[in-house]
Chains A and B, each alone.
Chain A
């Protein structure tokens, strides 16, 4: 596995329309390059970067479409974290408990894929959430904190798209307040543009992250502001629970800027372009599409 480059992508090749894993030839922010129409190419990997038997081949193919860096079937489970960034870490005690939720696999999308707001969520305060996404390369359970990072394969950018209204956070109060319908729509977990191996990321707690919508800054922070570190999250989530290889963890999103919190027009609407960026991992760009048509459920 030592010859697998530290940056990998998953893509549909122009040459034959098939899906491949590959190591991008171009350097720099692949999300921005792809967005601007730059022709990307990659050296094909014989399989998933997570597999120890995968080899780097000499074949180079052109990227027709960039996909999420891992296939949904390989991921199986997406674990997410509730709010756990603080504006002033020193003022907040380290939490002993944390809010764990899941996003089902139908949510996975790639760079430039539309984020589709279903009819059921239109007008329900839909929001972006830039997050550091951790990809596990080694299965584990009851993992001690000091061993946690050994289980990490790498990192990528994720946007944990959320309907604050359907989560019962704003607007309509929902009894039980479970976020199951608020984060699980198709396309509500864009991932990418690349998967970066942990070898390239010295310290996951030193990464700047930000979100812009139509060019305006909405979130801006650093993973140093996380109340629970990546290692602590892995350890806590693995209590009594097997975290499988390939599973991913969405590690929480920073608070929006104060100017955003006070903006009554802050929610995502049709046509908005969202850019989520994490230092060293590139920029994940997606556009919002609101679904039209009559609602099919009477509830």
Chain B
């Protein structure tokens, strides 16, 4: 097993159809932004087929053809999501700070890849587009955990990534549970890389931004999070086995489209860029109405 700082899951440029795992050669490169700009991203190949067991460096290099989410739909299981988790976001919505995390879920089928894969507005909602962005910090579990304490929780984390909890506000308001409005196909873009937790000992020091067509919509240091990574992993694991590959998306800061006057929802052609520091980089997706 070779050690690694950052990994990407990708399809190689030579048009192979088997996803591969690699570590970007340039440790400082924003992989998501580079792909978006058409720049070449070179990686050192690993012999494993999953970030959960990447194996050993083969000694060969490869060029990224298409970026994929760090974990696959088959590995991720049901995505765990933390509701209200940023203090300033609570303030903008006039909500009290919760004392326990609100937990909901997105199905595995909602997992989506970075650019060029799109944010999809479902056909049946095309006329009412109230599709909204939510920049989120993602945790990927590396070791099966259940009933873990806060002190040991980080032992079970594999690494971190960026996500967009794409949500449809019209349908969200129509029912009490958020499962439908946040669970459409491709409503959870994730990536562009997974950063090893060893590189980020304290996630609260990271910064996250969200830009819509180049305009800054969300910005926060992660110290504005109400619950820490350790608290969230510990809490969610009580009574529930979180298997390796489980993705936990951890809430969004203030500045969602819904909170603007007029609202800044996403329509056909809109781009949303989620950037997280610490080596994670920029998760970019362009909005498309499903045909």
Interface residues of A (CB under 8 A from B): 76-79, 82, 96-106, 116-121, 141-142, 174-181, 184-186, 237, 239-242, 244, 291, 295-299
Contact = CB atoms under 8 A, between A and B. Distances in A.
A236 to B, nearest CB: 8
A239 B122 contact: yes
Contacts, number: 156
A239 to B, nearest CB: 5
Contact of B240 (A78, A117, A186): A186
Contact of A240 (B96, B179, B185): B185
A78 B185 CA distance: 15
Nearest to A178: B104
Contact of B98 (A176, A180, A242): A176
A240 B184 contact: yes
Interface string B20-40: 000000000000000000000
Contact of B177 (A99, A141, A291): A99
B99 interface: yes
B109 A100 contact: no
Given A79-B179, A186-B146, 6 more contacts: A77-B78, A120-B238, A175-B84, A176-B98, A239-B124, A299-B99
Interface stretch (B8-16, B212-220, B228-236): B228-236
15 contacts: A100-B177, A104-B77, A104-B240, A119-B147, A142-B122, A174-B102, A178-B177, A181-B103, A184-B105, A185-B240, A240-B124, A295-B238, A297-B150, A297-B237, A298-B150
Contacts of A105: 77-78
Given A120-B238, A185-B239, A100 B95 contact: no
A117 B240 CA distance: 10
Contacts of B83: 176, 178
9 nearest CB pairs, A to B: A118-B239, A240-B122, A180-B103, A176-B102, A185-B239, A100-B179, A120-B238, A178-B104, A104-B78
B180 interface: yes
- Interface of A, secondary structure class, is loop
Nearest to B120: A240
B243 interface: yes
Contact of A241 (B109, B146, B242): B109
B250 to A, nearest CB: 13
A99 B176 contact: yes
Among A119, A141, A241, A244, find the residue whose CB has the most chain B CB atoms closer than 10 A: A241
Contact of A141 (B95, B147, B185): B185
A101 B177 contact: yes
A37 B150 CA distance: 43
B70 interface: no
B274 interface: no
Contacts of A76: 74, 77, 108-109
B241 interface: yes
B183 A102 contact: yes
B146 A240 contact: no
Size band of the interface chain B makes with A? 35 or more
Given A186-B146, A240-B122, A106 B241 contact: yes
A296 to B, nearest CB: 5
Given A77-B108, A175-B96, A180 B80 contact: yes
B174 interface: yes
In this complex, the member of B95, B124, B240 whose beta carbon has the largest number of chain A beta carbons within 10 angstroms is: B240
Nearest to B90: A175
Contacts of A177: 102, 176
A295 B100 CA distance: 14
A241 B241 contact: no
B240 A299 contact: no
Nearest to A98: B175
Contact of B231 (A78, A97, A175, A298): A298
B123 interface: yes
Nearest to A240: B122
Contacts of B102: 174-178, 180
B174 A97 contact: yes
Nearest to B147: A296
Nearest to B109: A242
B148 interface: yes
B234 A297 contact: yes
Contacts of B150: 297-298
A79 B227 CA distance: 27
A178 B102 CA distance: 6
Nearest to A236: B180
Interface in B182-236: 183-185, 227, 231, 234-236
Contacts of A295: 238
Given A102-B78, A178-B103, A186-B241, A240 B236 contact: no
Interface in B73-126: 74, 77-78, 80-81, 83-84, 95-96, 98-109, 120, 122-125
A175 B93 CA distance: 13
A286 B175 CA distance: 32
B78 A119 contact: no
B149 interface: yes
